[in-house]
Amino acid sequence: ILNVEQSPQSLHVQEGDSTNFTCSFPSSNFYALHWYRWETAKSPEALFVMTLNGDEKKKGRISATLNTKEGYSYLYIKGSQPEDSATYLCACSNTGKLIFGQGTTLQVKP
């Protein structure tokens, strides 16, 4: 059974702070790691898909890294803004389906 864990569960930061979250997954049978950003009452929005050990992806102030050998991925947000407030989900894809972690909810205070 593929088990994906995220930490912390929630995070409160001040505007301008940089922050990061962790996604852990079993390193065996790994296929791909997905990060989603999910604002309340909206659809989850895809941020990154990563497959190779050592992958690094960047989108504006948000970046992510992947270590498939030890089974973790980090998501970094540089200079957090109030509009970054959302739940960030990671998921491993396995035979076409997504196995999600429980998410990290970020609240950025102005």
Which is nearer to another protein, 17 or 99 (by Cβ)?
99
d(CA 93, CA 96): 6
Q: Which residues bind another protein (CB under 8 A)?
A: 4, 6, 31-32, 34, 36, 41-46, 49, 89, 91, 93-103
**Contacting residues for 97 by C-beta, under 8 A, at least 6 apart:** none
Shortest distance in whole angstroms from residue 6 CB to another protein = 8
Token code pair at residue 94 = 């396995």
Which is nearer to another protein, 17 or 72 (by Cβ)?
72
Which is nearer to another protein, 5 or 15 (by Cβ)?
5
Tell me if 48 sits within 8 A of 59, measured CB to CB: yes
